[in-house]
């Protein structure tokens, strides 16, 4: 009988204070990590837009070299692009630290003519607008 009472006094476990300290530490780490994660997502969206503009510009150069007039549909139908990219939505940070908010209606466009050259644009700006400081 005495052995039963001895076991209950010698129980292993964490105290309430220890558990509260662990929860507080996890909360502090989460408060630090979440803004960093959000900033990394915005930076990745900006890098995607720059990469898309460069890919479209390369496809435009190949299309013009073949004697075609580039458009979003002709670049895909003539197999210069597998699919015309769609820009991301949400907060965006570009490599030159320009920030923007990608609206759902914002798309890539092709501007220019045969004499001045064709360029891919995002929100009416070419890739250099987002990459040079």
Binning pLDDT at 50, 70 and 90, where does residue 7 land?
A: low
Query: Is pLDDT above 70 for 15?
Result: yes
pTM, rounded to two decimals:
0.76
9 in any annotated domain: no
Pairing state of beta strands 99-102 and 108-113? unpaired
6 in any annotated domain: no
Range list of H helices, the chain: 2-9, 16-65, 72-77, 127-131
Say what percent of the chain tops pLDDT 70.
Answer: 88
Rounded CA-CA distance 84/15 in Å is: 59
Work out the burial of residue 61: count CB atoms within 10 Å of its CB; fewer than 13 is exposed, 13-18 middle, 19 or more buried: middle
Residues present in the chain in total: 133
Query: Is pLDDT above 70 for 72?
Result: yes
The confidence score (pLDDT) of residue 93 equals 87
Query: Is pLDDT above 80 for 101?
Result: no
Domain span at residue 56 reads 14-131
Residues 21-50 pLDDT 10s: 999 999 999 999 998 998 899 899 999 999
Helix (H, G, I), strand (E, B) or coil at 108: strand
5 in any annotated domain: no
Count of domains for the chain: 1
Cβ neighbours of residue 50 under 8 Å, at least 6 residues apart?
Answer: 94, 95, 127, 130, 131
């Amino acid at each position: 009988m005495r052995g039963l009472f001895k076991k209950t006094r010698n129980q292993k476990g964490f105290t309430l204070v220890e558990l509260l300290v662990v929860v507080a530490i996890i909360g502090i780490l989460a408060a630090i990590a979440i803004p960093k994660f959000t900033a990394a997502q915005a930076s990745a969206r900006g890098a995607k837009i720059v990469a898309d503009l460069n890919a479209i510009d390369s496809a435009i150069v190949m299309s013009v070299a073949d004697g075609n007039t580039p458009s979003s549909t002709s670049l895909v139908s003539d197999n210069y692009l597998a699919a015309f990219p769609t820009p991301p939505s949400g907060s965006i940070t570009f490599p030159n630290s320009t920030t923007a908010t990608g609206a759902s209606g914002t798309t890539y466009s092709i501007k220019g003519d045969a004499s001045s050259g064709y360029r891919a644009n995002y929100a009416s700006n070419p890739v250099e607008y987002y990459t040079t400081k």
